[in-house]
């Protein structure tokens, strides 16, 4: 497997790094502190082509590959994980399924402005009683002539407070469980769509999360994404790709935490020498860097498989599992290296520690990733 980055990939990585260091990173503490949606940064990402990295240019995107998306996600997330997840949801959970399952009209009307970053999207699968068990949906779409009438509640919707559009999963035939699920593209300004209050979260506080209430919402049948009953496959295959994006977000968080620990540890002296010269700390740093690289290689592999059109579901589950656990481990040790200074907001490491946690939860918990990996090992 060739891990050499092409000139185009290196250029995008460099562009994203410059943007992240100059524009995103100086804002990250304030975004976190004020739970502030970074609308200006989202606009800037759109101008750089980061809201539809792997969408063809003819459909409004940057026309690059999945590894390019991963490279850019790591850079943005290293500066600000909130800004990173806004980008990830847009690319992986909204543009990608419309690109793969949308018809020509849907792509023209929705994918183009999404990939250009003129519209923001969200993805609504989870419900109050259906998280890991995604097939236990209760939201119901009932056919009524050339419309569907949708009722239900969706939970934990990243980008929900700000989104213009939603990729929505609903039941159309509840007795058929996962085979009775159908996907829609839902304009968020349709009558009968209501957003709940913004959740008050532990981390990634700049990205808005809310419930979406659907109350007799009439959605034209032309906005159905794929066939009736195909929704679970739309959702699962979308999440296979989404997990690569979250793995890249976790890489960014881990890298930022490691860099913070090294910077602090070179400056801070204990027992007459910089903290980084103590062997106990050096062993921690060596483990952090090695785990980060291992997670990065798994993430790049999953990205390359997806771009090559090869099966990548297990590889993406492995990448997300590893990267999320590495991010949490690295952030914890980076905070420990800071001692008391790690526990206060004067230093960024406590933000990385809080931001890391969600990567083990959303787009499939670490337990779900293990389940996906284990099933692939034992299937006939």
Among 147, 233, 268, 278, binds ligand CAA (CB under 6 A): 233
Quick one: which of 31, 125, 185, 334 contacts ligand CAA (CB under 6 A)? 125
For ligand CAA, which is the closer residue by CB, 106 or 365? Answer: 365
Q: Helix %, strand %, coil % for the chain, to 5?
A: 60, 15, 25
String of DSSP letters for 297-340: HHHHHHHHHHHTTS--HHHHHHHHHHHHHHHHHHHHHHHHHHGG
Catalytic residue (choose from 127, 350, 360, 363): 363
Given the complex with ligand CAA, which of 145 and 309 has the nearer CB atom?
Answer: 309
* # of chain residues touching ligand CAA (CB under 6 A): 25
Reference 347, options 329, 330, 331, 364; nearest CA is 331
- Our finding on whether 123 is near ligand CAA (CB under 6 A) is yes
Q: Which secondary-structure segment (H or E) carries 270?
A: strand 269-270
Q: Which of 236, 289, 297, 373 binds ligand CAA (CB under 6 A)?
A: 236
Contact predicate 244/66, CB 8 Å: yes
**How many Å apart are CA 216 and CA 319, to the nearest integer?**
40
Q: Helices (H) and strands (E) in the chain — how many of each?
A: 13, 10
* Closest to ligand CAA by CB, 26 or 128: 128
Q: Within positions 248 to 307, which residues make up the interface with ligand CAA, using CB under 6 A?
A: none
Contact with ligand CAA (CB under 6 A) among 162, 325, 355, 363 = 363
Known active-site residue 8: no
Residue 219 β-bridge partners: 148
Q: Structure tokens of 90?
A: 């847009």
Structural tokens at position 19: 């943007």
- CB count in 10 Å sphere of residue 22: 10
- Cβ distance to ligand CAA smaller for residue 45 or 134: 134
Q: In angstroms, give the least distance from the CB of 253 to ligand CAA.
A: 15
Instruction: Characterize the bridge pairing of strands 181-187 and 165-171.
Output: antiparallel
Binding to ligand CAA by residue 101, rule CB under 6 A?
no
Q: Does 179 contact ligand CAA by CB under 6 A?
A: yes
Residue 116 or residue 158: which is nearer to ligand CAA going by CB? 158
Does position 103 bind ligand CAA by CB under 6 A? no
Applying CB under 6 A, does 362 fall inside the site for ligand CAA? yes
Q: Which residues are catalytic?
A: 363
Query: Interface residues with ligand CAA (CB under 6 A)?
Result: 89, 123, 125-126, 132, 134-135, 156-158, 178-179, 232-233, 236-237, 239-240, 313, 362-364, 368, 371-372
């Amino acid at each position: 497997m060739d891990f050499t980055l092409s000139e185009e990939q290196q250029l995008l990585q460099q562009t994203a790094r410059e943007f992240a260091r100059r524009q995103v990173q100086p804002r990250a503490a304030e975004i976190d502190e004020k739970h502030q949606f970074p609308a200006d940064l989202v606009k800037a990402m759109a101008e750089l082509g980061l809201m539809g990295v792997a969408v063809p240019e003819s459909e409004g995107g940057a026309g690059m590959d999945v590894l390019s998306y991963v490279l850019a996600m790591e850079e943005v997330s290293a500066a600000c994980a909130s800004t990173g997840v806004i980008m990830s949801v847009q690319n992986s959970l909204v543009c990608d399924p419309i690109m793969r399952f949308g018809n020509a009209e849907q792509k023209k009307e929705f994918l183009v402005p999404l990939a250009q970053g003129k519209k923001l999207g969200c993805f609504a699968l989870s419900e109050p009683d259906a998280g890991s068990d995604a097939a236990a949906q209760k939201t119901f779409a009932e056919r009524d002539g050339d419309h569907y009438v949708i009722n239900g509640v969706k939970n934990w919707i990243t980008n929900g407070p700000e989104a213009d559009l939603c990729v929505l999963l609903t039941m159309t035939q509840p007795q058929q469980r996962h085979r009775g699920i159908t996907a829609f593209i839902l304009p968020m300004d349709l009558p009968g769509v209501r957003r709940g209050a913004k959740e008050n979260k532990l981390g990634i506080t700049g990205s808005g999360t809310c419930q979406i209430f659907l109350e007799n919402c009439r959605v034209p049948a032309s906005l159905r994404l794929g066939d009736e009953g195909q929704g679970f496959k739309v959702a699962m295959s979308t999440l296979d790709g989404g997990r690569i994006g979250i793995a890249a977000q976790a890489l960014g968080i881990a890298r930022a935490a490691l860099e913070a620990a090294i910077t602090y540890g070179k400056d801070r002296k204990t027992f007459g020498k910089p903290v980084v010269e103590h062997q106990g700390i050096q062993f921690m740093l060596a483990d952090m860097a090695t785990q980060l690289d291992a997670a990065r290689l798994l993430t790049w592999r999953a990205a390359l498989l997806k771009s090559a059109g090869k099966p990548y579901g297990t590889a993406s589950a492995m990448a997300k599992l590893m990267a999320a656990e590495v991010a949490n481990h690295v952030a914890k040790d980076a905070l420990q290296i800071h001692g008391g200074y790690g526990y206060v907001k004067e230093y960024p490491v406590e933000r990385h520690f809080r931001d890391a946690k969600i990567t083990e939860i959303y787009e499939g918990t670490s337990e779900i990733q293990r389940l996906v990996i284990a099933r692939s090992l034992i299937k006939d």
